[in-house]
């Protein structure tokens, strides 16, 4: 059993039988259990800078016992922000506060992760609580968005500029520089945001990618940009640290990304040094009908795990300890990513352990109160 050296080592005391609390090792990083915090935008940054909100928000999940604590989508270029309030990693000055957050997360025995992102054609919009809706006005600082092709996401969204080959190469480099900054900040896991209709997904999906050059058409061409980013990022990462990619396994729309394509992309990603695919869906078609129900995306994580034979993360309407445990027990995924349930209860892992009759240590500050 790996002992994580930290101020609040939540070392498990029983390794029998509860899949959710079995450690997982990817490269040289051991996660204390299988519970990961899924990326969640907070729309609370100024010019990309993290602040006390991000420290407390992300820190609370580390205190609550999660194994992996992921930042929200963190833009590698200023124009890659969904809104002006998104977190960024496009300046060296961003590193300092991120490093403070990382230090706190590590001190609780959790692994800090950053989701590197570029919003592509879904950038330059109002954040949910800014008062506006859809595309930013000129007065509010609208910027030119970019995408594989000049195709809007929807009427409320700006028309993107179709990237030239040279501009694609510059964005690959921005991901690489973002990765270098993330490593300087101390992050131990990097995730590329290849889902939800943002730039990397926009290239993969035939719905948003109408290119006729080597970045469009065949699946091999549509995933080329993602693979170039993967290679550029992996190149600057130490071999000991894991790289994750989040994919949208389906566009839930005829003519969009399919499960079979996702299995193939996952295989190729693994060959390029990706250690786990975090399997989400949707986000690239405004009108898509998504069959929301508990665990509605788990079958796609299952396909990546069992057909591609690549470690996978399951996410989406997983809200119960027994449900999360069962997904792992049935061999459908390797990690469980939670978003909204962790907002309801940042201490979900402590509660889940109790419900599953599994003993984990609480933070020393809480230990006397443990029941
Ligand atoms: C407030 C909020 C912000 C989100 N921001 C991101 C994000 O930055 N990156 C991302 O990949 N997914 C994002 N998501 C999607 C979640 O990571 C997750 O995939 C989704 O909420 C489904 O999981 P859940 O049912 O456990 O909430 C966000 C979800 C929520 C609720």
Q: What is the pLDDT of residues 196-245, one digit of tens each?
A: 999 999 999 999 999 999 999 999 999 999 999 999 999 999 999 999 99
Following CA atoms 192, 193, 198, 199 in sequence, which dihedral angle do they give, to the nearest 10 degrees?
10
Give the span between the Cα atoms of 107 and 69, in whole angstroms.
Answer: 12
* Helix intervals (H) in the chain: 52-63, 95-107, 165-185, 199-204, 219-222, 224-236, 259-271, 298-306, 321-329, 340-344, 348-355
Which pLDDT belongs to residue 14?
46
Evaluate whether 159 touches 150 at the Cβ level (below 8 Å). yes
Structure-block tokens of residue 16: 């029998």
- Report CA(248)–ligand 1 centroid distance (Å): 12
Evaluate whether 154 touches 122 at the Cβ level (below 8 Å). no
The length of the chain, given as a count of residues? 371
Helix (H) or strand (E) holding 146, with range, is strand 146-147
pLDDT per position as a tens digit, 111-131: 999 999 999 999 999 999 998
Question: Using CA positions, which residue lies closest to atom 4 of ligand 1?
Answer: 40
- Report CA(244)–ligand 1 centroid distance (Å): 16
pLDDT per position as a tens digit, 26-70: 999 999 999 999 999 999 999 999 999 999 999 999 999 999 999
**Among 36, 37, 38, 292, residue to substitute to test ligand 1 (most atoms within 8 Å of Cβ):** 38
Question: Using CA positions, which residue lies closest to atom 1 of ligand 1?
Answer: 40
150: number of Cβ within 10 Å: 12
Active site residues per annotation: 198
Share of the chain above pLDDT 90, in %: 93
Please state, rounded to an integer, the average pLDDT across all residues of the chain.
95
Closest ligand 1 atom to residue 341 Cα is: 26
Nearest to 120 by CA among 213, 191, 205: 205
Nearest to 190 by CA among 73, 306, 338, 315: 73
Give the span between the Cα atoms of 211 and 178, in whole angstroms.
Answer: 26
Helix (H) or strand (E) holding 337, with range, is strand 335-338
- Report CA(230)–ligand 1 centroid distance (Å): 22
Beta strand spans in 27-78 (E): 29-31, 35-37, 68-75
pLDDT per position as a tens digit, 247-279: 999 999 999 999 999 999 999 999 999 999 999
Is residue 26 helix, strand or coil?
Answer: strand
Q: Which domain holds residue 283?
A: 2-370
Share of the chain above pLDDT 70, in %: 96
Question: Using CA positions, which residue lies closest to atom 29 of ligand 1?
Answer: 40
Which pLDDT belongs to residue 8?
52
Which pLDDT belongs to residue 12?
45
**What band does 3 get if pLDDT is binned at 50, 70 and 90?**
very low
Structure-block tokens of residue 12: 């498990």
CATH of the domain at 101: 3.20.20.70
Q: Which residue has the tokens 């969904």?
A: 82
Which pLDDT belongs to residue 370?
82
**What band does 16 get if pLDDT is binned at 50, 70 and 90?**
low
- Report CA(297)–ligand 1 centroid distance (Å): 13
92: number of Cβ within 10 Å: 11
What is the domain count for the chain? 1
Give the span between the Cα atoms of 189 and 244, in whole angstroms.
Answer: 7
Which pLDDT belongs to residue 2?
36
In the structure, which protein residues have their CB atom closer than 6 angstroms to any atom of ligand 1? 38-41, 72-73, 115, 193, 195-196, 246, 280, 315-318, 338-341
* pTM for the full predicted model: 0.96
- Report CA(7)–ligand 1 centroid distance (Å): 29
Question: Using CA positions, which residue lies closest to atom 23 of ligand 1?
Answer: 316
Residues 354-371 have a mean pLDDT of 91
């Amino acid at each position: 059993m790996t002992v994580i050296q930290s101020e609040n080592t939540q070392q498990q005391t029983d390794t029998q039988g509860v899949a959710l609390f079995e450690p997982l090792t990817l490269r040289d990083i051991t996660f204390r259990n299988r519970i990961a915090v899924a990326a969640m935008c907070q729309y609370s940054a100024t010019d990309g800078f993290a602040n006390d909100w991000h420290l407390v928000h992300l820190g609370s999940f580390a205190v609550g016992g999660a194994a992996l604590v992921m930042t929200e989508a963190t833009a590698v270029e200023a124009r890659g922000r969904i809104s002006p309030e998104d977190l960024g990693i496009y300046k060296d000055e961003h590193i300092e506060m991120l490093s403070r957050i990382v230090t706190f997360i590590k001190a609780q025995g959790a692994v800090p992760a950053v989701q590197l992102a570029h919003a592509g054609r879904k950038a330059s919009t109002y954040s949910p609580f800014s008062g506006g809706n859809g595309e930013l006005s000129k007065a509010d600082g609208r910027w030119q968005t970019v995408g594989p092709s000049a195709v809007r996401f929807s009427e409320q969204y700006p028309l993107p500029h179709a990237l030239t080959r040279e501009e694609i190469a510059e964005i690959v480099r921005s991901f690489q520089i973002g990765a270098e900054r993330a490593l300087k900040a101390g992050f131990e896991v990097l995730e590329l945001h290849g889902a939800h209709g943002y730039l990397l997904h926009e290239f993969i999906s035939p719905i948003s990618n109408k290119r006729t050059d080597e970045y469009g058409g065949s699946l091999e061409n549509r995933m080329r940009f993602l693979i170039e980013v993967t290679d550029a990022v992996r190149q600057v990462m130490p071999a000991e640290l894991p790289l994750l990619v989040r994919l949208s396994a389906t566009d839930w729309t005829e003519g969009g990304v399919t499960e079979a394509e996702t299995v193939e992309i996952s295989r190729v990603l693994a060959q390029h040094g990706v250690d786990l695919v975090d399997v989400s869906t949707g986000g690239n078609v405004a009108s898509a009908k998504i069959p929301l129900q508990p665990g509605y995306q788990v079958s796609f994580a299952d396909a990546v795990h069992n057909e591609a034979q690549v470690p996978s993360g399951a996410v989406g309407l997983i809200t119960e300890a027994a449900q999360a445990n069962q997904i792992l027990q049935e061999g459908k995924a390797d990690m469980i990513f939670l978003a909204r349930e962790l907002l309801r209860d940042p201490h979900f892992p402590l509660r889940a352990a109790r419900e599953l009759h599994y003993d984990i240590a609480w933070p020393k500050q809480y230990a006397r109160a443990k029941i």
